[in-house]
Structure 1
């Protein structure tokens, strides 16, 4: 009888968790002051959302009574209000690090997730931490959390004798919902007790399922509200002072306007007029010895905010827009380049994006860049001429993404680059699919891409991939394959390194869904990948890797990784010549990743690795160490040092003609080299409060490749000794970047930013191995530039202006 009772209780619990909770809200006409006190009487008459359930680590465990959480929701004609009472048995232990916006820090957290269409497709998430900081994001199951999206809303968090409380006012302009008289919204609440790393939700989120947004509860009771006119203006003014050793100090004043307009309840237009990206984060440049360009992160807000639709098919690399010119100037023997711009100016850009109630997502991105010229001088006559390295160009992206059954989608994507005049144009079209079973247990994903490039010679190619995986439970697996033809090229608006191959891959994984006696989290994964050159069938890549990730009961993390290339492979990219290849030896690599609990004032990250090659003297190693210290809730510093050494690395160096070596005509020369890399970075912050912070970010990087001897690549892919080549092809690249900034959110959506930046970089063939001299020479380099800038951006909401007048 007892066993039967337990079985019934278990079934009831499972059935209860599978049901969506419902909360009734209430209309108000009185004003609520957002002070975190919940002292208006109307709060007490609102229905209460409680009985939170743990999301992780012990999925499904009810929240204890001494941490009881009660949430109330009210609404009026302009906004929705959330009041949260978050009890804690030890209020003095509540973590409350003060951070800048969208940075949770080491602090307790409360969040509300809203889906105005209740379609399980997209959540608008709003977070407040115990230090009164804000964060917000758009979340989809396909793309995860996008914190580059920012809304304008108000909140206040207060520590009390029984825990802490939160009040939030989220205007309807920050949400998306239909114009129906009776609204039914998807709703969930989230709470993290940081000192324990315990995460709870109001509606149970089953971690066995491969979905997050479809496990929300229901909000009912909102009636007779209208989607507001979503018209936001963000005028700005920026002042820059630039100086370096080669030019006098000069100031520049800029001004412009960003505009955001809600076309209807689903779609939004974003425009930038006279763009200014002078205060974006610097790029972490490296010594790039490989055959492919370095890929950089996108740091410009316009191209990072709300771009989940444009990531479909992985076709858009937005750094192409306003990036390097697409052509290099051609010069005669008696000419020299005086000025060759490193970037192209963006004239304007716009994007339209959104999703209808029926699940159709539409995204349009368009940008125009200006004509850019290089200045070339004749060294004999001193005459100066101009050469166009990038004409006036238009970049366009169109995405149509139809979601169905709340968890699947099929998308059509097109990217197009049209350049004025007789310059290269490009077009890529793709069909992408992400199909899940009704219970989110299996997934079938893939795409088919077709590229056309119009240049001196038209080029057409395809790329396609297909992947099947199990996405439910403790044990999961996946298998897949992809193919890319020789002429596939999406690099005008995307980025793609390898072509002319086909590959097969598979993986399997195991994870615990609830803590054990020793672990809060444990997962392990094995991957296998093989790539073959499409025309010859030679194996280009053969890799097996395994990893184990552990988080113990004290929330310290340990990762163990193993990586092996068990057979020789044929690299068709490093020789930089069509049809040629170099044979790479087998290798084994091992790595550790240790990260202590960031809740502690002092924490440490340590990541060593070692690679053993089946080639004498070629073994390499690397490590990074990153101590961090939180002096107080307002002051913190993070330092990271990394070092790597590659011994007897073999890399392309040069190609020579017949006259240099009659025995090896048209030789491809490789360097046998040691590659040493140092990197130091320091970041820190002083937060006066959640609206006002000082930040510092420093990075010094130095990497050099010292050639020991020269090798010639044979037709069979092997290397032999080569004599008679005496050109210095050593490489040494070092750079320095320093940013010191002050940010003040002086009003909702409005910000003052003050930035001082200095940076320098140099590439040399002669290597000075004295580290101190290198740093000193870099900082005394004539190329060291200084920039001081002040930027003021003011947020204007049409609805607020309308109400005032």
Structure 2
């Protein structure tokens, strides 16, 4: 019996302390004194002298052999840059497959080569760079063991050249661009290749097919002949100048002319620790959010896209769960101007990471909103092979404010604080992952029911996925700088899925079911919600995917709710609703110039109603310069009076024009009759130097019926990345 009790403990120790899976795959990188010209040609002596990483392994469609498509990679460096060249061979002469020359392209829709660097060899955080076969760049930061944030953007140069039997990617990554620890001579490294025509994804090191090639648990080792050089003085100032004009036709306001200047600064306190500063920041060039038809009872989530908040964003944004985030940076500066801010983030050594942020927003006298200060502190300690423990503190403080002093203005909170601790589990082979956390909020007048506890544990292998997750959120838990759309609940969510792999090589690569059930209870353990969901997924060898599902839903409303979110009427608190529904999803293979996908849903709805939902996504590319997409969503809701029949359309055509990999034009139209709005957004971006841009952004908003203009804006913005 004692031996049986010790077995789980031994298993936990094994998965937590396990050695690096692919540490024996080594690529030696040697310093060169010879010149390297970034032109997509492997004709320099420096490349002839560099060792090669080749003989890649197939990851998809199966991970049981070496890749059919050959790839060879070499790396070298000098005092300023890391250089890489990848020769991507073809099995037969054929045109490449890409969407466009747009930066940070969609991975699965482009022939591409991407590599992943783990400068601390901690198998948790790093950087990714690469390009598609037409030369469009890809760069991002890696967090949580292999998730990529492609909003991260920095200075580096690359070139791609096409040949009849191959294409070559060549790049120079300045040491100043990345963060690494002084003196470390072994980094994690891996290389990924996607050839859409062969429907093959490959990797230098072997990776189980259920994991992405970005998985840092499976990197090989980049062995330096000597410690990488210090980046030296690394200070960048990024000033901007903005001019614009806008007009609010709704309120018949006069033209509003904008003139603004501001700046960001990036100061490397060490090769792994960075200080970001901003004064009077402006984010007018950020792309508009993609709208959705909102039939949810709770607030929708939209991702952060503003550059200032993105470096080491995982330290701040990844604390908690999808719907329990004590910090959400979009709470700062959207609708309220930011005066200034500072962020200190990065690694103190191989085991410790730190993040500190302080932002000050302006007051708005017309609504009585005081100036506010936002402070966030995060400290992370590495444990075992790839796990960590993290502390976070979030403080929102109103400056020089007395709540209720002016009875004619809304009352705002004097302060709101959150303190949390979480443990993130990641086994050496990535098959066991999980999280456990506790949070407490501090709000004037509330001292009980303000705790959160949540945990999950997941096992993933080639065939099985087993998941348990639970969440407990107190009635008075309050995260004013976070994203917590729901409070006062207990949630239980078990999930299991299985994949079958046919023995014969046919059109179907794998297929299998997924069963998930999500229960919500109140604090007295009375059930208020449940969704039980059964899905069957078929993955085709040509990379097409088909799903069919059935679901049962039960809801007991905790507050009045309009099931159409259109303002007609609301269902009563305490009313109970249940229904059954079914649906399908299909995504076409990406090898064609014309791609398509669709989803269907039909079944019951609130108040014994019915709901039909259809979406389509169509795309056509004129390689590599033009990519046209059309997303359409239709919801038909049939309810008793006073709602009756409601039809919601959301139509979003988009055109991306990329004349070169430094000149981009995007036109995006969104017709949304639920919001009674037509939005037109166009953006021209010219990257005249690395990380330096000129933007012209034009936005129109119209009523859907009658088709009258609501507001209009034009902005011109010039930024320059000045490195000292």
Matched, 1:792 2:702: no
Does the 8 Å CA contact 2:151/2:305 hold for their aligned counterparts?
no
Whose radius of gyration is greater, 1 or 2?
1
Q: Give per-residue Cα distances to partners, 1:729-755, cap 9 Å, x unaligned.
A: xxxx40111112211111111111112
CA distance in 2, matches of 1:149, 1:442: 28
Does the 8 Å CA contact 2:346/2:354 hold for their aligned counterparts?
yes
Question: Aligned-residue CA RMSD in angstroms?
Answer: 2.6
Matched, 1:691 2:681: no
- SS at 1:312's partner residue? coil
Matched, 1:620 2:623: no
Q: Give per-residue Cα distances to partners, 1:456-515, cap 9 Å, x unaligned.
A: x6665111112223233411212232212211111x101222222223221111135799
Q: In the alignment, what sits opposite 2:425?
A: 435
CA distance in 1, matches of 2:34, 2:21: 36
| Alignment map for 1:573-652 (pairs within 5 Å) | 573-574=559-560, 581-612=573-604, 618-648=609-639
Matched, 1:559 2:571: no
Q: In the alignment, what sits opposite 1:534?
A: 523
Normalised to the residue count of structure 1, the TM-score between the two structures is 0.79
Q: Give the unaligned 5+ runs of structure 1.
A: 1-14, 324-342, 375-386, 651-670, 704-732, 762-773, 799-805
Does the 8 Å CA contact 2:680/2:699 hold for their aligned counterparts?
yes
Q: Give per-residue Cα distances to partners, 1:279-305, cap 9 Å, x unaligned.
A: 223345678676544444333222344
Go from structure 1 to structure 2 and tell me whether the alpha carbon gap of 1:503 and 1:431 turns closer, same or farther (over 3 Å shift): same
Q: In the alignment, what sits opposite 1:348?
A: 340
Instruction: Measure how far apart 1:520 and its partner are.
Output: 3.2
- SS at 1:643's partner residue? strand
CA distance in 1, matches of 2:678, 2:272: 45
CA distance in 2, matches of 1:553, 1:696: 34
CA distance in 2, matches of 1:291, 1:98: 38
Go from structure 1 to structure 2 and tell me whether the alpha carbon gap of 1:202 and 1:454 turns closer, same or farther (over 3 Å shift): same
| Alignment map for 1:442-461 (pairs within 5 Å) | 442-454=432-444, 461=450
Q: Give the unaligned 5+ runs of structure 2.
A: 1-18, 404-412, 563-571
Does the 8 Å CA contact 2:356/2:377 hold for their aligned counterparts?
yes
Quick one: which of 161, 175, 178 aligns to 1:175? 178
Quick one: which of 570, 581, 591 aligns to 2:556? 570
Go from structure 1 to structure 2 and tell me whether the alpha carbon gap of 1:287 and 1:166 turns closer, same or farther (over 3 Å shift): closer
Go from structure 1 to structure 2 and tell me whether the alpha carbon gap of 1:288 and 1:108 turns closer, same or farther (over 3 Å shift): closer
Q: In the alignment, what sits opposite 2:488?
A: 500
Greater RCO, 1 or 2 (C-alpha within 8 Å, sep 6+)? 2
Go from structure 1 to structure 2 and tell me whether the alpha carbon gap of 1:697 and 1:514 turns closer, same or farther (over 3 Å shift): farther
CA distance in 1, matches of 2:20, 2:509: 25
Quick one: which of 244, 248, 256 aligns to 1:240? 244
CA distance in 1, matches of 2:429, 2:698: 53
Q: Give per-residue Cα distances to partners, 1:359-399, cap 9 Å, x unaligned.
A: 2121112211111122xxxxxxxxxxxx51x1011111111
Q: Give per-residue Cα distances to partners, 1:200-235, cap 9 Å, x unaligned.
A: 111222336799102111112342522333211111
Matched, 1:422 2:422: no
Q: Give per-residue Cα distances to partners, 1:570-625, cap 9 Å, x unaligned.
A: 2213369xxx8323222111111122123312222211111225965x11111112
- SS at 1:121's partner residue? coil
CA distance in 2, matches of 1:740, 1:92: 34
CA distance in 2, matches of 1:274, 1:432: 34
Go from structure 1 to structure 2 and tell me whether the alpha carbon gap of 1:614 and 1:370 turns closer, same or farther (over 3 Å shift): closer
CA distance in 1, matches of 2:492, 2:222: 46
Instruction: Measure how far apart 1:436 and its partner are.
Output: 3.6
Q: In the alignment, what sits opposite 2:370?
A: 391
| Alignment map for 1:10-49 (pairs within 5 Å) | 18=22, 20-49=24-53
Does the 8 Å CA contact 2:474/2:488 hold for their aligned counterparts?
yes
Matched, 1:478 2:467: yes
Go from structure 1 to structure 2 and tell me whether the alpha carbon gap of 1:439 and 1:90 turns closer, same or farther (over 3 Å shift): closer
| Alignment map for 1:129-168 (pairs within 5 Å) | 129-141=132-144, 144-168=147-171
Go from structure 1 to structure 2 and tell me whether the alpha carbon gap of 1:104 and 1:675 turns closer, same or farther (over 3 Å shift): closer
CA distance in 1, matches of 2:21, 2:457: 29
Does the 8 Å CA contact 2:124/2:216 hold for their aligned counterparts?
yes
Q: Give per-residue Cα distances to partners, 1:65-110, cap 9 Å, x unaligned.
A: xx32221111111111112222113233322443221114743211
CA distance in 1, matches of 2:511, 2:104: 28
Does the 8 Å CA contact 2:82/2:173 hold for their aligned counterparts?
yes
CA distance in 2, matches of 1:514, 1:398: 50
Does the 8 Å CA contact 1:59/1:514 hold for their aligned counterparts?
no
Q: In the alignment, what sits opposite 1:312?
A: 319
Go from structure 1 to structure 2 and tell me whether the alpha carbon gap of 1:143 and 1:22 turns closer, same or farther (over 3 Å shift): closer
- SS at 1:759's partner residue? strand
Instruction: Measure how far apart 1:263 and its partner are.
Output: 1.4
CA distance in 1, matches of 2:122, 2:20: 21
Matched, 1:511 2:499: yes
CA distance in 2, matches of 1:169, 1:290: 47
Go from structure 1 to structure 2 and tell me whether the alpha carbon gap of 1:107 and 1:615 turns closer, same or farther (over 3 Å shift): closer
Go from structure 1 to structure 2 and tell me whether the alpha carbon gap of 1:284 and 1:193 turns closer, same or farther (over 3 Å shift): closer
CA distance in 1, matches of 2:64, 2:606: 49
CA distance in 2, matches of 1:206, 1:625: 32
Q: In the alignment, what sits opposite 2:332?
A: 321
Q: In the alignment, what sits opposite 2:9?
A: none
Q: Give per-residue Cα distances to partners, 1:47-67, cap 9 Å, x unaligned.
A: 111111112221142123xx3
CA distance in 1, matches of 2:594, 2:293: 32
Q: In the alignment, what sits opposite 2:226?
A: 223
Go from structure 1 to structure 2 and tell me whether the alpha carbon gap of 1:16 and 1:795 turns closer, same or farther (over 3 Å shift): closer
Quick one: which of 115, 119, 122 aligns to 2:118? 115
Go from structure 1 to structure 2 and tell me whether the alpha carbon gap of 1:42 and 1:293 turns closer, same or farther (over 3 Å shift): closer
CA distance in 2, matches of 1:416, 1:145: 28
Q: In the alignment, what sits opposite 1:301?
A: 307
Go from structure 1 to structure 2 and tell me whether the alpha carbon gap of 1:615 and 1:153 turns closer, same or farther (over 3 Å shift): closer
Go from structure 1 to structure 2 and tell me whether the alpha carbon gap of 1:585 and 1:153 turns closer, same or farther (over 3 Å shift): same
- SS at 1:530's partner residue? strand
Q: In the alignment, what sits opposite 2:258?
A: 252
Q: Which moved more, 1:202-211 or 1:498-507?
A: 202-211
Q: Give per-residue Cα distances to partners, 1:290-349, cap 9 Å, x unaligned.
A: 6544444333222344311112122212222124xxxxxxxxxxxxxxxxxxx3221122
CA distance in 1, matches of 2:343, 2:430: 32
Does the 8 Å CA contact 2:100/2:623 hold for their aligned counterparts?
no
Go from structure 1 to structure 2 and tell me whether the alpha carbon gap of 1:694 and 1:641 turns closer, same or farther (over 3 Å shift): same
Go from structure 1 to structure 2 and tell me whether the alpha carbon gap of 1:306 and 1:523 turns closer, same or farther (over 3 Å shift): farther
Q: Give per-residue Cα distances to partners, 1:650-676, cap 9 Å, x unaligned.
A: 9xxxxxxxxxxxxxxxxxxxx555432
CA distance in 2, matches of 1:248, 1:614: 45
CA distance in 1, matches of 2:191, 2:502: 21
- SS at 1:517's partner residue? coil
Q: In the alignment, what sits opposite 2:84?
A: 82
Q: In the alignment, what sits opposite 2:70?
A: 68
Go from structure 1 to structure 2 and tell me whether the alpha carbon gap of 1:191 and 1:209 turns closer, same or farther (over 3 Å shift): closer
Does the 8 Å CA contact 2:681/2:699 hold for their aligned counterparts?
yes
Go from structure 1 to structure 2 and tell me whether the alpha carbon gap of 1:116 and 1:249 turns closer, same or farther (over 3 Å shift): same
Q: In the alignment, what sits opposite 1:544?
A: 532
Does the 8 Å CA contact 1:20/1:203 hold for their aligned counterparts?
no
Instruction: Measure how far apart 1:549 and its partner are.
Output: 2.5
Q: In the alignment, what sits opposite 2:11?
A: none
Instruction: Measure how far apart 1:355 and its partner are.
Output: 2.1
- SS at 1:302's partner residue? helix
Instruction: Measure how far apart 1:789 and its partner are.
Output: 1.7
Does the 8 Å CA contact 1:447/1:466 hold for their aligned counterparts?
yes
Go from structure 1 to structure 2 and tell me whether the alpha carbon gap of 1:522 and 1:147 turns closer, same or farther (over 3 Å shift): farther
Matched, 1:749 2:691: yes
| Alignment map for 1:653-668 (pairs within 5 Å) | none
Q: How many residues align?
A: 675
Q: Give per-residue Cα distances to partners, 1:552-580, cap 9 Å, x unaligned.
A: 12322212122112xx542213369xxx8
Quick one: which of 23, 48, 62 aligns to 1:58? 62
